[in-house]
Structure 1
Amino acid sequence: METRETLVALAEEIGSVFEPLQDALASPKAFSAFMYDLGWDMTQPPQPVQDLSASVTAVLNTIEAGGITGANVAGLMTQITSLITGIKGLSSISSALLPASVDATEFKNEFPGQLMQFLVVEYLLGNQANWGRLMQTIGIIRISYQAAAGKRTGYFKREIAWQDLGNFFNDPTAVFTNAYNWGTSNFKADYFYDTLYNMGSAFGLAVRQEPLHPNVHTILNQGASDPTKIFPLQLKFILLEDNSSSLQYAIGVALYLLPETAGAKPGFAVLPFADGEMEESIDIAENFKLIFDLGLALNPGVGILVRPGDVKILTDMIGAGGAAPPSSLRLKLGIQYAKPGGEPTILLGIADGSRMEIQSFAIKGGAAVASNGKHELLAEAELKGGKIVIKAGEGDSFLKTILGENGIEGNFDLLLGWSSRQGVYFQGSGGLEIALPTHISLGPIEILGLTIGIRPEAGKIPIALGADVKGALGPLTAVVQGIGFKAILTFPPNDSGNLGPVNFSPEFKWPTGVGLSIDGGGFTGGGFLFIDVEKGEYAGGLELEFQSIIALKAIGVLSTKMPDGSDGFSLLIIITAEFVPIQLGFGFTLNGVGGLLGLNRTMELEPLRLGVYDGSVNSILFPKDIVANATRIINDIKRIFPPYEGQFVFGPMAKLGWGTPTLISVELGFLLEVPDPVRMALLGVIRLNLPAEEAAIIYIQINFIATLDFEKKQFTLDASLFNSRILTFALTGDMAIRIYWGDDANFLFTIGGFHPSYTPPPMGLPALKRLALIIFSGNPDLRAESYFALTSNTVQFGAKLSLRATGGPAAIHGYLSLDALIQFNPFKFLVEIGAMLAVSLFGEDMLSVRIRMSLEGPSPWHAWGEARISISFFFFDISVTVSFDVSFGEDRREVLPPVEVFEPLLEAFRKVGNWRAELPAGANLMVSLREIPTEEQADKLILHPFGILEVSQKVAPLNMDINKFGTNAPLEIHRYFQVNSLALGAEIFGQDRLDILKEQFAPAQYREMNDAQKLSSQSFAKFDSGIRIKGSDKLKSSYVAALEVVYEVIYVPEKQERKFWKFITELFAVFLKTNATAKSALAFEPKRPSPLDAPKTKVNVEEFVIANTDTLEAHADDLVFATQAEADAARATLTAKDPALAAKLEVMPKYLMN
């Protein structure tokens, strides 16, 4: 009977596997979302897929009806078998039933198996989470992201490793190894971390992510090959935990992922931990208790390090470089005095007046036993809930005025202890601060108030006396806050203080702030100064105006400490002057000038560019209301111009206008950073006010910045509409230009963003807002948007009109959009139009109309479109779809005549300008050479003895097949070019003596690419372009030559016989160290790397390989390329020779290979 019941339960669980499929087939919307999760772009289920709905419903209805027993379970199993057979039968579905958005062959081969894998994995992870997450951690269940390819969208692949499951009990490590690439440099550490986290949560454990102890972190990551792959957090599994008031403990194990080192592959560390605290008390008399204080701590510096083929146990990791906290047991016994209910006990004073009170007082004694043998005796006196209250008496009006109606209060806790190892120690929290509003006048000086502060800290008691002082001198008024005197009391061991057991250390208390104001003689304004002595930072600002004629503003930040805490100096100051406009002619005026100076400061270009979008640029260019906006302005300039030793930033500013009164104003600032790197930035703000600034109907503000980075070889331009409007309609939009001419050369221009299918290259672009006119904002919301983009491969533009309005639970929303992609010569375009209007109730669409159309052409024309009307009302759902897919017109693609490539290429190699004799990287000339007249080197190449001889061109890539040259096809015999040798006079340099050089080429100019490839490919990629002679950068010299050094002695003024003396070798060596050459900057730079030097750190560049799709192994050892474009070109060459390889070869990053 039990066997029968088990079979029934098993059948019901198997039937539950198909619930997601039933949900997916409930509506076209649900089906489309379900298929998208599987990587298929399908909006309607094909009929054979829809037919599965009946089988799924029958299975689930049988289960939900209940009453399944051993007698009728066979019927349920028959239904399940029939459903599985129907899923398998999808492998023979007619291709005509599948939409054009999927590859029919790929769908039939993959979808049936993929669907079963998906359903089983989702069931295990959702319905049987414990088993499912355990199987995923072991590696039986695997989830991996598959990037979009062909007609497949990106998706997460769910699978069960059936091939490894059968071998699990024979070799369980093989399952883990295959799932996580264990034992390789490509260990899937992130995935392993996530699966462990999910498994712990599934089993109900408390799982936390916490940082490691710094010493443990240092040891576990020592020798990491790639510091960027170091994990910041450990994963802690709490096995036992209790946080009750009397007993607190936590026992568990943590896991930390170990990075790869030079001698070991990635792995993980298991770190056990245990710590606990217990406080119990027993009433022994009224208000008195006997207290027990017990503490246990396991040294967290113990760990088990697991790497492929190696297991180590480390102890005392926390003690590396210092004293480790040992495992210890602590026990204290004592007596506590406290009134019930937390009622305070008044030690001095009266209940409603001035008093000193506490909530509890305890005396404890005990001992601590440590694993390192350092035991100790302890004695402590602890006071909790202390409070000091000072109030004036009922009849003392003077004290009431000074102390205030409610008086002054200060809270504190205090612990005074003694240890046989540490001596006296002191702990405390809270503090007492008394502010006395004195208002004492001493001539031109007024003491506004006094502040007395006592704030105990660990091991010391600082006592501060500060005064707020106001001084007036004619029209100038100054306020100084917190200036005064500070004394620090500490308790050094062995009564070694300057007052016996106490050490008294007085010092000056710097003011926390200074404020100035002036009003007189036509001048008005003010300023401020912030002082932070601990950080060594001073910041201030000044704003001064003279009779509305001229306004001077200054803001600065002075730091006396560098960001790492070391001593240093850095200054940043901005000064501007705005005045009555000075006429420059043609309606233009000069409204202001200014400048910026940064000493030991650098210029962060990324925050500076972002300042265009968030308005931070306004804190640099002629800032407004400096005193009111002091905090924001100072934070902005500190973030954009941080301290950096040895760097300097400076530049002028100007404010221009046009019209009287000013209708258009332009604020410009040119910034230059030197010496290394050299960077320039031009930032500005353009404002348009029509018809006048006071009553502007049209207000447009454009923030912009252009930067030029010579080190990175990058030019950028960013602009953004900021707080702009026409009447009441808001204007928004961003623009960006990127020009890179270094190793990663690229070009990009956009206004309002990009085509929705285009992923821009990583060029420091923020999220760009569309160029938009917001007609209505809020409810209703109506806006018009547009964009235009230009890359080296494409031209993109589009527009969109969107509407949304709500009223209670009902809403209406819709859009009309156009997106276009254009290619010139040969002319080709793709235009997509979309429209939608829907009425929804409670968030669900009740009525919707959707239209999608695309037109591609010409020669031939291809038009595709779909219109759908859907009506959904609670219990019914009606959808009508009309579509068309037609092609018309003749395929009259003009085939331009093939062009000659060899002659332009040969001509490029003949040009003297393409031959270079460069100095080796890091080498110095050591000597100055005369300028060679232009006529002497017109047709000659001047080669320095240290020079590297190389030649490179940009006509066509070398060592690859090209099937396109600009807009034409190349001659058939001129599609592959290679340099086999180089002849210099009688010497021949073969390929074994030549290095390959690379230059940036636009792939679309040399290879046929479809629209999807153009959108996703790099605008420029490196291809072989020339050669360099190997070894020409080696410094060659003769043997060491001995030289006898002599010096002449001359007596002045008497004429003597000239005598020459031989220099003593040791003395000559001493003099050499102090001569001009030895002190020059060049003398400190290494001329050549020493073979004994440590190897330099190098960042590995991403490489691409041509791999077999079935094994994910390289098709051949030499098919490794520096760029994806080169790999794509090589794959095209291979498949052209053997078309059967097209489905077997794939280009992938090298780090993804097995």
Structure 2
Amino acid sequence: MANTNITAYADDFIATVSRQLGASAPLGDLDRLRLAAQQLKLAADGGAAVDWDTAATEWTQARDALLGQLAGFLTEGLPELPGLDALARAVGWNSGEGLSGSVEVGPFRLGLAPSSLMIRPGSLPPITLGPLRPSGIEASIALPGGGAGMPGGGSLMRLAHGFGGTLSVPIGPVMADAAAVVETLPDGTPSLLAIIGMTFMPPVQLSFGFSLDRIGGIVGANRTSDTDALAQAVRTGAAGNVLFAAAPPASPGALVTEMGRLFPARQGRHLGGPTLHLSWLSMGVGSLMSLDIGVIIEFPSVRITVLGVAKAEIPGMPGLLHLRLDVLGIVDPDQSLVSIDASLVDSHVLGIFSVYGDAALRLNWGSQAYAVVSVGGFFPGFNPEPARLPAMRRAGMSLDLPSPLPMYMRAEGYFAVTTNTIQLGCRIEASISMGLLSAHGFLQVDALVQFRPFYFVAQCAAGFDVGVAGFSFGGVRLDGTVSGPGPFTVRGKLTIETFLFDLSWDETFTFGSGPSDRLTANASLLAAMEEELARPGNMRAQSMHDAAVVLKPGLASSGNLAAVPPAGTLSWSQGRAPLGVAVDRVDGMPLPARQTVVMGNAGAAVKDRFSPGSYCTLTQSEALNRPPFDLLDAGLEPALAPAPSAPMMTDDSKVKVVVVMGEQSHPPLFSGRFDLTIASLLVDASRGPPALSSDKALVTATRETWTHIGTGTGVSFDSATAAHQAAKRWPRMTAAVAYADASAPVDLSGI
């Protein structure tokens, strides 16, 4: 791997010099350096001392010819600081320290860390390839007249597409700090992310024991927030550490890298918002409770993110009590979603108990509405879809003693509520060791209650085992399940484990023979659609206005009538069930048989997005392979014909003509007088070239049509759901396929 660095270093130098000098780059010297690097790598791979000495001499001569370009290579991408060029020109190819030293810029002293690349393959003599470009610049505030510097300072780091840095400056009773990332997007657009804060020393006292310790904010241009990365970072505490400095970062580089990961660059998206730190009962060495909170508003999508870190500890004795709860809340109107994630981070009690756990809330008001609340997770095997939640830790407490001690204990549980279920469970586990002997026992209970149709299941497991020198000697385990109703079932299994064999008994008891709870079936899909026809809110008047004309609000509807302009249309649509498709359920309840409702009136269909799984019975394979939403018929725009009996209304709206030319408004041509100036402008504009040579679309896209094979009917469907549901009606085997695939099948004969 080290030998590969030889050619990589040469390629980096050659690319940098070629980029800086362009056509004036010394191509012959650069080619010689590339060839010398390849020969040096081959000699290093071969391990022969004679070849190595020859290749090293050629490398030295090739690089010495390019000494004039070394300073430009070392300073590429760095800010133009006074004294930096002189510092770089003093560096030689054989410098073991590389580009190192310090420069002073006003009250700041900037230091560059030494860095040089040295290669020693095996037992061959070492060789210094050359100095590396500095990866960062350390900054400190110089004292007047010299000295080590004032408290504070910062750093500047080179990133893949820009720079990142941190800075901390004391200003009287305030410590100001900032971290920033400046990058360039692939199209050349700059992207900026900055997190700033000011810590008050001492804190600003409010009242009732509360104090304001810190204020700050975040601003980003061409930046967005990665909600998935933020949700994961809340569970590790990284989100709070980045935004509030809740815990010192491992290094400035780690802070800048984490900032870029949580708030990545994205063109056209911007964000910003304030942050603050509040404390309660501050005692000089800390506070009993504290709260960090930040509100981030992202636009133009207007997504709101709230991040908070709450702490509780006994000042001066953090080992006695330390609780930290990180919370992330997101309001996303585009996704019709409100989400909250919370996690206990690095929390412990009495110095011997670790406290942990995650919680989450999801509330969606979109086309497939749902609500999910969970503390500690879900019933084993339960899938909360369509809600998307990361893996969650149980909420619990464990005994965290040093390893030599012989005792271990853990208690954890969960509680969850979804749109149709309640779930809860717990597990208690303990073990003890005495020399070679060890004992372990546990008790676990899980329960789930489903509302529609009503169903419950409870699982219980308990066990105890004894081991010798890490080998299980014997134990007992009991597993039980209770479920119902219709019938009420109890299942139990007892297992006795020995170091030679296991003995087990498994029995199931059934009580009652009645059927399980079923949802009340709807009598008719047609009856449900008749209810939708009677709803005035489903009928809308849609006007076909000229986009260049802005009209005042028209005549309001009278009673249950929709006022339709002469050039407008009448639209009826509903979201209760799709039309023209065979469905099995409506309102979440099954129908007596698969039913279809179609609109018999002439007119254009109104489309809307429906979830097929909410209306059709799908197998597990179909649910995985079919689209989660499909564009299906939801209503109709009827073809209106003039009718003498139709109610007539008078609209006394007036039209005002405004002529806009050259971004200036002019009075109309015929407004009581004739303006020859405006008329001449119109004539000149008519003689100009057209703004668009052709309005014909270069690329068009149409919806994919479907059909089903095996029947020979060749019927075409405009959605995958309609094709699949129609295929189920035929008595013989059929299959729904895209029309393009059916018209050009692949011949698999002979395979």
Q: Where do 1:1029-1068 residues align within 5 Å?
A: 1029=637, 1068=686
Residues 976 and 892 from structure 1, CA distance in 2 versus in 1: closer, same or farther, beyond 3 angstroms?
closer
| 1:633-653 superposed Cα distances (whole Å, 9 cap, x missing partner) | 111112222233332111111
2:698 pairs with one of 1089, 1093, 1110: 1093
1:867 pairs with one of 489, 494, 514: 494
Q: Where do 1:846-995 residues align within 5 Å?
A: 846-873=473-500, 877=501, 879-889=502-512, 891=514, 905-916=529-540, 925-932=547-554, 939-940=561-562, 949-954=571-576, 959-962=581-584, 976-982=595-601, 988-989=602-603, 993-994=604-605
Aligned equivalents of 2:459, 2:295: Cα separation in 1: 43
The match for 2:412 is 785
Aligned equivalents of 2:249, 2:413: Cα separation in 1: 40
SS of 2:595's equivalent? coil
The match for 2:197 is 576
Aligned equivalents of 2:708, 2:436: Cα separation in 1: 55
**Does residue 616 of structure 1 match 2:238?**
yes
The match for 2:124 is none
Shift of 1:463: 14
| 1:359-384 superposed Cα distances (whole Å, 9 cap, x missing partner) | 533xxxxxxxxxxxxxxxxxxxxx32
Please say if residues 367 and 609 of structure 2, whose CA atoms lie closer than 8 Å, have aligned partners that are also in contact: no
| Structure of higher CA gyration radius | 1
AA at the equivalent of 1:864: R
The match for 1:832 is 459
AA at the equivalent of 1:647: R
SS of 2:537's equivalent? helix
1:751 pairs with one of 370, 375, 394: 375
**Does residue 469 of structure 1 match 2:102?**
yes
Residues 452 and 911 from structure 1, CA distance in 2 versus in 1: closer, same or farther, beyond 3 angstroms?
same
Shift of 1:928: 2.8
2:91 pairs with one of 453, 461, 466: 453
Aligned equivalents of 2:292, 2:394: Cα separation in 1: 25
**Does residue 701 of structure 1 match 2:324?**
yes
Please say if residues 543 and 567 of structure 2, whose CA atoms lie closer than 8 Å, have aligned partners that are also in contact: no
AA at the equivalent of 1:750: S
The match for 1:765 is 389
Structure 1 stretches lacking a partner, 5+ long: 1-336, 345-357, 362-382, 387-411, 418-424, 436-444, 457-461, 484-508, 983-987, 1033-1044, 1049-1055, 1074-1082, 1108-1112
AA at the equivalent of 1:748: V
Please say if residues 542 and 564 of structure 2, whose CA atoms lie closer than 8 Å, have aligned partners that are also in contact: no
**Does residue 671 of structure 1 match 2:671?**
no
Please say if residues 452 and 463 of structure 1, whose CA atoms lie closer than 8 Å, have aligned partners that are also in contact: no
| 1:412-456 superposed Cα distances (whole Å, 9 cap, x missing partner) | 834769xxxxxxx9999xx99xx9xxxxxxxxx999998843459
Please say if residues 954 and 1025 of structure 1, whose CA atoms lie closer than 8 Å, have aligned partners that are also in contact: no
| 1:662-708 superposed Cα distances (whole Å, 9 cap, x missing partner) | 43222111111222x4422111111122x446446332211111223
Shift of 1:906: 2.3
SS of 1:949's equivalent? strand
The match for 1:180 is none
AA at the equivalent of 2:476: V
Q: What is the TM-score of this pair, normalised by structure 2?
A: 0.66
**Does residue 516 of structure 1 match 2:118?**
no
SS of 1:981's equivalent? coil
AA at the equivalent of 1:1093: L
Residues 624 and 1024 from structure 1, CA distance in 2 versus in 1: closer, same or farther, beyond 3 angstroms?
closer
| 1:872-910 superposed Cα distances (whole Å, 9 cap, x missing partner) | 33xxx3x32222211114628678976666555423233
The match for 2:219 is 597
1:653 pairs with one of 261, 268, 275: 275
**Does residue 815 of structure 1 match 2:442?**
yes
Aligned equivalents of 2:489, 2:320: Cα separation in 1: 47
Aligned equivalents of 2:736, 2:441: Cα separation in 1: 41
1:478 pairs with one of 105, 109, 125: 109
AA at the equivalent of 1:1027: G
AA at the equivalent of 1:907: E
Q: What is the TM-score of this pair, normalised by structure 1?
A: 0.45
Shift of 1:614: 2.3
Aligned equivalents of 1:844, 1:908: Cα separation in 2: 69
The match for 1:541 is 167
The match for 1:1027 is 635
2:309 pairs with one of 685, 689, 713: 685
Please say if residues 833 and 854 of structure 1, whose CA atoms lie closer than 8 Å, have aligned partners that are also in contact: yes
Q: Where do 1:311-710 residues align within 5 Å?
A: 360-361=53-54, 383-384=55-56, 386=57, 413-414=59-60, 452-455=90-93, 468-469=101-102, 478-481=109-112, 513-517=137-141, 525-532=151-158, 535-544=161-170, 546-547=172-173, 550-559=174-183, 561-562=184-185, 564=186, 566-579=187-200, 580-582=202-204, 588-623=210-245, 629-659=251-281, 661=283, 662-675=287-300, 677-689=301-313, 691-692=314-315, 694-695=317-318, 697-710=320-333
Shift of 1:956: 8.5
Please say if residues 577 and 586 of structure 2, whose CA atoms lie closer than 8 Å, have aligned partners that are also in contact: no
Shift of 1:517: 3.1
Aligned equivalents of 1:694, 1:807: Cα separation in 2: 33
Shift of 1:830: 0.8
Shift of 1:918: 7.0
Please say if residues 364 and 371 of structure 2, whose CA atoms lie closer than 8 Å, have aligned partners that are also in contact: yes
AA at the equivalent of 1:481: L
Aligned equivalents of 1:933, 1:998: Cα separation in 2: 31
| 1:258-281 superposed Cα distances (whole Å, 9 cap, x missing partner) | xxxxxxxxxxxxxxxxxxxxxxxx
Residues 528 and 639 from structure 1, CA distance in 2 versus in 1: closer, same or farther, beyond 3 angstroms?
same
Residues 924 and 463 from structure 1, CA distance in 2 versus in 1: closer, same or farther, beyond 3 angstroms?
farther
AA at the equivalent of 2:91: G
Shift of 1:657: 3.3
Higher relative contact order (CA 8 A, sep 6+): 2
Residues 530 and 957 from structure 1, CA distance in 2 versus in 1: closer, same or farther, beyond 3 angstroms?
same
- Number of corresponding residues: 624
Please say if residues 731 and 772 of structure 1, whose CA atoms lie closer than 8 Å, have aligned partners that are also in contact: yes
The match for 2:118 is none
AA at the equivalent of 2:102: V
Please say if residues 416 and 427 of structure 1, whose CA atoms lie closer than 8 Å, have aligned partners that are also in contact: yes
**Does residue 799 of structure 1 match 2:413?**
no
Aligned equivalents of 1:709, 1:799: Cα separation in 2: 33
**Does residue 711 of structure 1 match 2:334?**
yes
Aligned equivalents of 2:278, 2:59: Cα separation in 1: 62
Shift of 1:725: 1.8
Aligned equivalents of 1:665, 1:645: Cα separation in 2: 36
Shift of 1:510: 9.8
Please say if residues 579 and 635 of structure 2, whose CA atoms lie closer than 8 Å, have aligned partners that are also in contact: no
Pairwise CA RMSD of aligned residues? 5.7
Matched residues, percent identical? 20
Shift of 1:821: 1.9
Please say if residues 846 and 871 of structure 1, whose CA atoms lie closer than 8 Å, have aligned partners that are also in contact: yes
Residues 1118 and 769 from structure 1, CA distance in 2 versus in 1: closer, same or farther, beyond 3 angstroms?
farther
Structure 2 stretches lacking a partner, 5+ long: 1-42, 75-82, 115-132, 641-660, 667-673
Aligned equivalents of 1:697, 1:706: Cα separation in 2: 30
Aligned equivalents of 2:530, 2:267: Cα separation in 1: 50
AA at the equivalent of 2:411: A
The match for 1:182 is none
| 1:1065-1107 superposed Cα distances (whole Å, 9 cap, x missing partner) | 776454886xxxxxxxxx99x9xxx654224599x99x9x999
AA at the equivalent of 2:311: R
Shift of 1:866: 0.9
